[in-house]
């Protein structure tokens, strides 16, 4: 009883004296426990012949997660985890110039936390994890120094510090939109959505899944930063498989992403999208096979254009900064051909400019779910960064590890959406690929046919979706412009070199919200179509699968 009274008094004093304007008692307990244990570790943590840590950060994620899956009108799985806590510790020896991190991968020690935010339990859990992180950092520090003696570091990167020093931030972010999840309602919705596939007997192994994570991430650092921010996502995923007459299995998927359930399209709109998805997959099953070989102009429209831009620009070989690890084992394992040496040079068509927006919430009345106010390392990002200007590389997105040609942070360490761990990676907010001297979308198809005709080709191709053997490729007749869906086409890899000289660019812009690498909520604004020349498309080898002994049961209803 005495301890309970002291705890109540502690909460009252914390609310009046804490430098952070915490929103709830839960916030107070989590932040206070992390601050107190972090301060104790910075002051007292030591071992013989091992220096004290110079940097520690604690992160706690308080989340709830749900998942529903339905097939052919029946719920096959429905789970909900209302209370989960997960944490991480980052600990470094040394200083900003040189520290124990030799891999530059942002490694953290995972902390297993109790389900409830109890002050004493949190301190115990972080105490144990910090002890492990400290001993591990000591071993890494010794290994790093030993490697430096055996392999003398040369090159410009040796002059760079290991970590950018930043200004301490105190920021508590409360979401403007509540995360409301009605389990019974969404179970009914998924029954209705999954039942749509029953009308398409050519499709099997169909399912519709809804999953969501609502997480509040708390960050405290030895630099003095205290941050609370939401990391949330809802994804509706539909998939199905079909089999062609020549024995080829085609599996396709449809994904719709939002921050909260209420931002998903209406049930009527979701039904319409799944019906269209099923119809397109059915049509692909019946499509004729593509020609053995093609080389010529190809028009990439819609999501296919977005895929090309994302794959080439949004990676460590694109517009993300990369620091070569000092650990040779890691360096050989993660070989990256960084674009940084091409700073100031042309990398894409000079009509294109690429910018990154951090806090922009809407574009042409379309919400941008990639918007964020502060990154996972406590850095407030600039609202706008020009990465490519008129085709010339100007800047890269980066976290706190300085790299050649990108020595300052752009606040681009973004939390990975996961209820199992606290982790982050370099990622954009909203990437805007804009074009000058662009043309109307209908002009691109005319240009496609004109180029194909000048090269003596009977037809050209339009690609509207890139998805393995479910890629949507349309053969376009040069004489009349008619389109025919084809399948088994294998498109040669589209690299940055192909983007240096585009034949034409659409002046219409599309907006898409998506999960970068399936991990970070991001947005992209991009030209709706790109016309490229000298693209190779080959007929893919069909891997034949043996058919089941009996036909799919639903087919008997459609005989």
Question: Which DSSP letter does residue 497 get?
Answer: G
Q: What distance lies between CA 394 and its chain's CA centroid? A: 23
Cα separation, 534 vs 532, whole angstroms: 7
The arithmetic mean of pLDDT across residues 154-168, rounded, is 86
Could you report the per-residue pLDDT of 301-346, keeping only the tens digit for each? 999 999 999 999 999 999 999 998 876 666 556 678 899 999 999 9
Same domain, 84 and 195: yes
Same domain, 221 and 294: no
pLDDT exceeds 80 at position 2: no
Contact 350, 391 (CB under 8 A): yes
Measured from the Cβ of residue 51, the count of other Cβ atoms closer than 10 Å reads: 14
Same domain, 356 and 482: yes
Last residue of one domain, picked from the residues 193, 220, 237: 237
- Band of the pLDDT at 149, cuts 50, 70, 90? confident
Same domain, 295 and 195: no
- Band of the pLDDT at 21, cuts 50, 70, 90? very low
Cα separation, 165 vs 22, whole angstroms: 26
Question: Which DSSP letter does residue 469 get?
Answer: G
Residues facing 236 on adjacent strands = 210, 256
Cα separation, 419 vs 213, whole angstroms: 7
Cα separation, 336 vs 103, whole angstroms: 13
- Band of the pLDDT at 166, cuts 50, 70, 90? very high
pLDDT exceeds 70 at position 12: no
Question: Which DSSP letter does residue 343 get?
Answer: T
pLDDT exceeds 60 at position 13: no
Same domain, 186 and 305: no
Same domain, 302 and 411: yes
Last residue of one domain, picked from the residues 237, 263, 282: 237
Same domain, 7 and 72: yes
Cα separation, 363 vs 432, whole angstroms: 10
Q: Please check whether residue 258 lies inside any domain of the structure.
A: no
What pLDDT is recorded for position 151? 66
pLDDT exceeds 80 at position 261: yes
What pLDDT is recorded for position 529? 98
**What percent of the chain clears pLDDT 70, i.e. is strictly above it?**
92
Sign of the C-alpha dihedral computed for residues 340, 342, 346 and 349 taken in this order: negative
What pLDDT is recorded for position 157? 77
Mean pLDDT, all residues of the chain: 91
What pLDDT is recorded for position 332? 58
Same domain, 414 and 499: yes
Last residue of one domain, picked from the residues 200, 218, 237: 237
Q: Please check whether residue 271 lies inside any domain of the structure.
A: no
- Band of the pLDDT at 114, cuts 50, 70, 90? confident
Q: What distance lies between CA 287 and its chain's CA centroid? A: 33
What pLDDT is recorded for position 334? 66
Measured from the Cβ of residue 541, the count of other Cβ atoms closer than 10 Å reads: 9
What pLDDT is recorded for position 471? 97
Could you report the per-residue pLDDT of 487-512, keeping only the tens digit for each? 999 999 999 999 999 999 999 999 99
What pLDDT is recorded for position 324? 85
Helix residue ranges per DSSP H, 45-83 = none
Could you report the per-residue pLDDT of 187-220, keeping only the tens digit for each? 999 999 999 999 999 999 999 999 999 999 999 9
Could you report the per-residue pLDDT of 224-251, keeping only the tens digit for each? 999 999 999 999 999 999 999 888 999 9
pLDDT exceeds 60 at position 16: no
What pLDDT is recorded for position 10? 40
Same domain, 198 and 304: no
pLDDT exceeds 80 at position 354: yes
- Band of the pLDDT at 11, cuts 50, 70, 90? very low
Q: Please check whether residue 274 lies inside any domain of the structure.
A: no
Contact 406, 391 (CB under 8 A): no
CA distances from 165 to 55, 223, 409, 494 (A): 11, 9, 9, 38
Biggest distance spanned by C-alpha atoms of the chain: 91
Question: Residue 195 sits in which domain range?
Answer: 2-237
pLDDT exceeds 60 at position 18: no
Cα separation, 222 vs 480, whole angstroms: 68
Q: Please check whether residue 345 lies inside any domain of the structure.
A: yes
Q: Please check whether residue 379 lies inside any domain of the structure.
A: yes
Could you report the per-residue pLDDT of 100-113, keeping only the tens digit for each? 998 887 668 999 89
What is the domain count for the chain? Answer: 2
User: Which residues of 390-528 form beta strands (DSSP E)?
Assistant: 392-393, 413-415, 424-426, 430-435, 459-465, 472-477, 483-487, 489-491, 504-505, 509-516, 520-527
Same domain, 98 and 13: yes
pLDDT exceeds 60 at position 462: yes
Same domain, 156 and 11: yes
The arithmetic mean of pLDDT across residues 240-264, rounded, is 94
Residue where the block lists tokens 């939002």: 258
Same domain, 354 and 427: yes
Local structure of 440: helix, strand or coil: coil
Could you report the per-residue pLDDT of 32-84, keeping only the tens digit for each? 999 999 999 999 999 998 999 999 999 999 999 999 999 999 999 999 998 89
Q: Please check whether residue 250 lies inside any domain of the structure.
A: no
Q: Please check whether residue 262 lies inside any domain of the structure.
A: no
- Band of the pLDDT at 3, cuts 50, 70, 90? very low
SS3 content of the chain, % helix, strand, coil (to 5): 30, 35, 35
Q: Please check whether residue 329 lies inside any domain of the structure.
A: no
- Band of the pLDDT at 409, cuts 50, 70, 90? very high
Output 50-53 pairs: Cβ under 8 A, ≥24 positions apart: 50/93, 50/134, 50/138, 51/93, 51/94, 52/93, 53/91, 53/92, 53/93, 53/134, 53/137, 53/222
**CATH code (residue 213):** 3.30.2290
């Amino acid at each position: 009883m005495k301890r309970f009274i002291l705890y109540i008094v502690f909460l009252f004093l914390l609310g009046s004296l804490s430098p952070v304007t915490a929103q709830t008692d839960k916030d107070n307990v989590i932040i206070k426990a992390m601050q107190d244990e972090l301060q104790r570790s910075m002051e007292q943590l030591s071992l013989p012949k091992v220096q004290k840590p110079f940097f520690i950060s604690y992160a706690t994620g308080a989340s709830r997660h749900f998942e529903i899956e339905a097939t052919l009108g029946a719920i096959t799985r429905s789970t909900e985890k209302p209370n989960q806590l997960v944490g991480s510790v980052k600990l470094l020896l040394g200083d900003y110039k040189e520290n124990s991190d030799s891999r530059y991968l942002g490694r953290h020690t995972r902390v297993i936390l109790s389900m409830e935010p109890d002050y004493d339990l949190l301190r115990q859990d972080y105490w144990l994890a910090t002890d492990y992180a400290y001993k591990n950092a000591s071993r890494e520090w010794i290994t790093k120094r030993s490697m430096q003696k055996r392999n003398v570091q040369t090159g410009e990167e040796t002059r760079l510090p290991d970590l950018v020093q930043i200004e301490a931030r105190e920021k508590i972010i409360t979401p403007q939109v509540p995360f409301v999840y009605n389990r019974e309602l969404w179970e009914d919705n998924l029954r209705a959505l999954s039942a749509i596939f029953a009308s398409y007997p050519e499709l099997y192994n169909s399912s519709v899944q809804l999953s969501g994570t609502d997480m509040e991430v708390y960050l405290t650092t030895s630099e003095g930063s205290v941050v609370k921010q939401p990391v949330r996502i809802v994804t509706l995923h539909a998939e199905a498989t079909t089999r062609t007459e020549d024995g080829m299995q085609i599996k396709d998927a449809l994904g719709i992403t939002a921050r909260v359930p209420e931002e998903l399209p209406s049930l009527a709109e979701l039904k319409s999208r799944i019906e269209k998805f099923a119809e397109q997959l059915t049509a692909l099953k019946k499509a004729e096979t593509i020609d053995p070989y093609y080389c010529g102009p190809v028009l990439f429209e819609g999501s296919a254009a977005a895929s090309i831009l994302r794959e080439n620009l949004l990676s460590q070989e694109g517009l993300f900064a990369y620091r070569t690890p000092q650990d040779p084992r890691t360096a050989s394992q993660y070989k990256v051909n960084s674009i940084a040496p091409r700073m100031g040079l042309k990398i894409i068509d000079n009509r294109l400019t690429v910018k990154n927006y951090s806090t922009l919430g809407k574009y042409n009345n379309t919400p941008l779910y990639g918007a964020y106010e502060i990154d996972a390392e406590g850095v407030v990002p600039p609202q706008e960064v020009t990465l490519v200007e008129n085709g010339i590389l100007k800047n890269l997105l980066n976290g706190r590890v300085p790299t050649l040609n990108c020595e300052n942070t752009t606040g681009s360490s973004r939390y990975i959406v996961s209820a199992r761990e606290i982790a982050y990676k370099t990622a954009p907010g909203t990437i805007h690929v804009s074009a000058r001297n662009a043309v109307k979308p209908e002009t691109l198809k005319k240009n496609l046919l004109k180029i194909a005709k000048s090269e003596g080709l009977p037809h050209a191709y339009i690609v509207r979706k890139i998805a393995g053997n479910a890629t949507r490729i349309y053969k376009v007749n040069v004489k009349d412009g008619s389109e025919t869906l084809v399948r088994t086409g294998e498109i040669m890899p589209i690299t940055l070199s192909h983007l240096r000289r585009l034949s034409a660019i659409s002046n219409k812009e599309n907006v898409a919200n998506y999960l970068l690498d399936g991990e970070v909520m991001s947005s992209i604004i991009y030209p709706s179509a790109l016309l490229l020349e000298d693209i190779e498309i080959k007929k893919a080898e069909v891997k034949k699968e043996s058919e089941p002994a009996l036909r799919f049961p639903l087919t008997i209803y459609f005989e």
